[in-house]
Structure 1
């Protein structure tokens, strides 16, 4: 065998990487979901749909 297996070290490294990833999920999620781009997009889509909704209300 060219090297020794170190299961405890591998376990600690694995857990450390998982803790680092889990601790960064919330800030990344908040940044992506609450980015101002989505608010602007929602407003622009509402403005696009308003004329179509008014047409449908008049004909219905």
Structure 2
């Protein structure tokens, strides 16, 4: 005898599980996205970019000063 399917029960179970997941996604998203780790990482990357920009600017200005004194 084949197994009897219950489509309404399956649909209700599927809908219920999705409702629970939708309710719990916001706190999980907030926890993951607003961890202090990400803020520290953004700050470190910003400092590295500023250091690279400052070193390239000082190198460029030193080269321009050398050209100006030579020429």
Cα RMSD, aligned residues only: 1.5
Specify every segment of 5 or more residues in structure 1 that has no aligned partner in the other structure, as ranges: none
User: Please, what TM-score do these two structures have when normalized by structure 1?
Assistant: 0.82
The corresponding residue for 1:5 is 5
User: Please, what TM-score do these two structures have when normalized by structure 2?
Assistant: 0.72
Bigger Cα displacement from structure 2, 22-31 vs 44-53: 44-53
| Deviation digits for residues 24-48 of structure 1 (CA, Å, limit 9, x no counterpart) | 1111111111111000111111222
Bigger Cα displacement from structure 2, 25-34 vs 44-53: 44-53
Specify every segment of 5 or more residues in structure 2 that has no aligned partner in the other structure, as ranges: 62-71
Measured after TM superposition, the shift of residue 5 of structure 1 is 1.1
